[in-house]
Structures are given as C-alpha cells and as structure tokens.
Amino acid sequence: MREKILLIDGHSMLNRGYYGVPLLTNSKGVHTNAVLGFLNIMFKVISEEAPDYIAVAFDEHAPTFRHEMYEAYKGTRHAMPEELKEQVPLIREVLQAMNILTVSRPGLEADDIIGTISRRAMREDREAVILSGDRDLLQLVTADSVKVRLPHTSKGVTTVDVLYAADVKEKYGVTPEGIIELKALMGDSSDNIPGVPKIGEKTGVSLVQQYGNIENLKEHIGEITKRSIRETLEQNFDMAVLSKKLATIDVNAEIEFTWEAAAKGDLFNASAYGKFMELELKSLYKYFDDTTTAAVEESAKHEFEEIRDLGEIEAVFAEVKKAKKAGIAFDEDGVYLVLSPDRAVAIPAEGFASPMFLKAHVTDILDGGSGIYYTFDIKGQLKHMEVPCSPKLRDLLLADYLLNPLIDDYGVPEDTGEKAYAAYIRGEERYKELCDAGMERLYADIEMPLAFVLHDMEKEGIRASKETLESISADLEKDILKLEQEIYADAGEEFNINSPKQL
C-alpha cells in the first residue's frame, strides 16, 4: 500500500470555515469560527483518508512571480475581513501545536507549493490528497495518484467530494490539464485573470474539447465558423497566452520540504489541547483522551490565593469595594475575586467566613461599591448565594447572548474562579460592544432583571391550573387538526407534515 500525504490549501480552507460557520468568539472576545470550520473539515478528511503525512500550504502577504507578469493579478479582490484576518495566525499556532507542518514562501502561492509536493509524491510512488475549495487545483489531478477533496455544503450539511481525473472530466467537461486551457480562454474573475473577451465557460469548454490546448487552437483559428469568436481570438490571443501562464501552477518550485517534517505524529497532544482550551473550541475536545485533558485542564487554571484569616478577608472585601473594576463569582465553596491579571483571591466558605458572612459582604459591595463588578452566568450562581440585582453587576454571559443570540455554546468556564477571571479580563471590552450595538438599555432593563426572576421561578416554581392547561391543550389540538385538513386539501393528498422531505 502506497504512503499518502494530505496537502491542505490553508487560506482557502480558512476562508471556507469563516463563511461556513457563524461568527464565534471565545470568552476573551477572540474570533474562532474560521478556525473551528477549518479543523472540522480537516479532521473529517484525516479520518477518511488516514494519511501518513500532512502539510498545510499558506500564501504569503507579498507579490508573487505572477504579479511580475501581470501587475493587476488578483487586483480586484476585496480586503480580508478583520474577523477572518485575525484568525490566520491562530490556525498556524493550532497546527504547530498539533505537529502539523506548515509551508509558505515569499513569491509563491499555496497552489505552487501544493503542486510541487504533489508531483514529488508521484515521482516517489506516493499518493497525494489535496484539500481545497479552489477549483484551480483540479489541474493537478491524475488518474490514480493525485486527487482533490472539494468541500461542498448543501442544506447546512458539509460533504467533501472526491475528484480524480475522470471525475473532473465528467463534472467540468475537460481533463485536469484542460482546466488550464479553459482559464486561458475564459479567464478567472476571482484572480483577475483576463482571459479572452466574449468567451465564457460554455464556449471555452467547447473549444478545449475540440482543440485540446490554446497552441493547437491558434493553428486552427481560421476554422472557427462563428465570426465573433474567431475575431475575438485573433485580436486577443496574447491575453490567452498570458492567462495560461497566470493559471498554470508551478510544480517545480524551490521550497523547504522533507517527508520527515511532514510525517503525521500525535495530533491530539497536550500542547494542542491547551490551544483548543485557550480558544474554547469545546466541540473538539472529544478528540483528546481523558489523561491528556485532565492534565492540561489542571495546569491551565489561574492561580488563586486562598485567604482564611478574618482580618485579611475584611481587607480584601474593602479593597474590592473601592476598586474601579473587579471580577467576581461564587459557589458553595466560597467567593472568587479578581482585582488585576496578577491578583486573584479565593475566600473559602468555612470558619468565620460562613455563607451568611460572605453573602453580607458581597451584597455590601454590590450595594455600595465604587466600581463595576463583572461576572459570568449570574443566574447559575444565584442558587449558591442570593445577592441583589445591582446596576454595578455586569454578566458577560448575558452580553454574549445579546450580541450572538444564535450561538449554542457561549464558552462559560466550568471552574467558578475562571468565571471571575474571564469576566475581569474581557468585561469592559464586551460591555462596550454591547453599548455600541445600542443594547445597553435592553441589557440593564430587561435581561439582567430577568435572570433574577428566572432564578426565583426555578427555585419556587409557578402556580398553574391543570384544568386551564388541559383546556388550552384541547383547543390547540382542534386548531392543529383543522389546519392539517386545510393543508391536505391544498396539497390534494395526505402526507406526513412533520417530514421536511414529504412537505
């Protein structure tokens, strides 16, 4: 069985991840959706292909040899969104932590790096699998040594198509080599490759199928019966030649690459898990074993100074009350306070510091403190200590919800101390985002008081009339039955309305 290398088009897959996953941030406000989308697709393909080697190629932010040929190359591209731009170094850090080789070189594009490595793999009787959302790389596909995995999203489900040479011919009407000829004729607006005016994909495919390449086409231009096509080729053939050079991937580029460096090692190691924790990519924790996760989680926790002396406890509470800003969280074990990135205090609920004692001091801070006190998930904490709803208390979980209501996981730290720390670190920035979005009143007048009301409802329950609920249920059943009959009448037949497919 031949060895196999997975070659990933870094920027292409990061771009697909960014637009395929709703905007996400971790508790520090760092955007992570592109990284998450990238990794989800990569893990899927690794699972399916089981490669022996992995390398991710990235473009450099610098002109390439193609810009020397044509200054306007890629000149029409829009600037990368800032939320995506900030994730480029993040994915490289994640890949490094996973021991995955990244390759880039000024003057070259990722396509050239992938092309060079794939041809080297062929020469050495290895198989190459290319993962990219870019059709340009289809020109590298062969009958059985090089294939492209092309992500495709339909109805919210992402699949990764497999294309060998025969698949390219069937799907696009030309061979992999013909992809270059096709781009020479029709150009590529995404890369600002000019092509020949008036020649679109349909005409281009027909010409490539008939003549094979533009060199042969030039010899037979006089045979083209359609006057407009013949004339545009005669007048603009130099643009076809230039476009072919721009579209052709360099498969003999000088790059730094060794098989040893690309060998797939332990992807899901402690360093990688630490990076995933930092970015709060919780849906990916499942890839790590329990031993790795336990060790990293313990070492990743911030150190809180435990204070048990009554005098010191009183002094800390007085310090917090005077502070302009603090992070605060509490549970059945005690109170956690953060006064600076380097000053975090834990007060255990024991001895003199009874739950009643701690509650009195926290209430005093919220009622009469000088600053703003940031926390994470106040409703979840109220079951341990019932404190007043104060305008000085700001819940970052509620802010996250208002800014991103469609997210399933807001990255709430499980450890209570970490809630206080995370709230302190990013509290001001997140609250400013809330105000900039015009939701300050919505937060203060509705969402924050509602959290306390919901806590009371969960604790005490609410009165309900069984008879009234049964009556409402019966009325709803009648309405549903009536609507079902109207739907069947409009459809002309009965079917399962609950089945999206049948509907």
Per-residue model confidence (pLDDT) at position 429: 84
Domain CATH for 87: 3.40.50.1010
Is the domain of 57 the same as that of 137?
Answer: yes
Domain C-terminal end among 262, 295, 321:
262
285 within some domain: no
**pTM for the whole structure:** 0.65
326 within some domain: yes
Per-residue model confidence (pLDDT) at position 317: 96
Measured at the CA of 201, the angle between CA 137 and CA 129, to 5 degrees, comes to 15
Is the domain of 255 the same as that of 331?
Answer: no
499 within some domain: no
Tokens representing 240?
């076809």
Is the domain of 14 the same as that of 81?
Answer: yes
Tell which residue, 459, 438, 432, 306, has the closest CA to residue 374. 432
Judge whether 259 and 53 are in contact, CB under 8 Å.
yes
203 within some domain: no
- Distance between CA atoms of residues 92 and 101, nearest Å: 9
Neighbouring residues of 54: CB distance < 8 A, sequence distance ≥ 6: 5, 6, 8, 46, 100, 101, 262, 264
Q: What is the pLDDT along the chain (503 residues), one digit of tens a residue?
A: 899 999 999 999 999 999 988 888 887 789 999 999 999 999 999 999 999 999 999 999 888 888 888 888 888 888 889 999 999 999 999 999 999 999 999 999 999 999 999 999 999 999 999 999 988 999 999 988 999 999 987 666 778 899 999 999 999 999 999 999 999 999 988 888 988 998 999 999 999 999 999 999 999 998 888 899 999 999 989 998 999 999 999 999 999 999 999 999 999 998 998 899 889 898 998 998 877 766 665 555 678 999 999 999 999 999 999 999 999 999 999 999 999 988 999 999 998 899 999 999 999 999 999 999 999 999 999 999 999 999 999 999 999 889 888 765 555 677 899 889 888 888 888 899 899 999 999 999 999 999 999 999 999 988 889 999 999 999 999 999 999 999 999 988 888 888 777 77
Is the domain of 257 the same as that of 351?
Answer: no
Judge whether 7 and 118 are in contact, CB under 8 Å.
yes
Range of the domain at 148: 4-166+250-262
Domain CATH for 326: 3.30.420.10
Per-residue model confidence (pLDDT) at position 382: 95
Is the domain of 257 the same as that of 377?
Answer: no
238 within some domain: no
Is the domain of 431 the same as that of 318?
Answer: yes
Domain C-terminal end among 233, 262, 291:
262
484 within some domain: no
88 within some domain: yes
Per-residue model confidence (pLDDT) at position 410: 59
Per-residue model confidence (pLDDT) at position 52: 97
Q: How many folded domains does the chain comprise?
A: 2
Domain C-terminal end among 262, 288, 319:
262
Tell which residue, 321, 456, 328, 334, has the closest CA to residue 386. 456
Is the domain of 257 the same as that of 330?
Answer: no
Is the domain of 343 the same as that of 393?
Answer: yes
Is the domain of 322 the same as that of 391?
Answer: yes
- Distance between CA atoms of residues 466 and 468, nearest Å: 5
Is the domain of 453 the same as that of 374?
Answer: yes
Tokens representing 88?
């480029």
207 within some domain: no
Per-residue model confidence (pLDDT) at position 298: 57
Displacement of CA 188 from its chain's centroid (Å): 27
Is the domain of 70 the same as that of 160?
Answer: yes
Is the domain of 256 the same as that of 378?
Answer: no
Per-residue model confidence (pLDDT) at position 409: 58
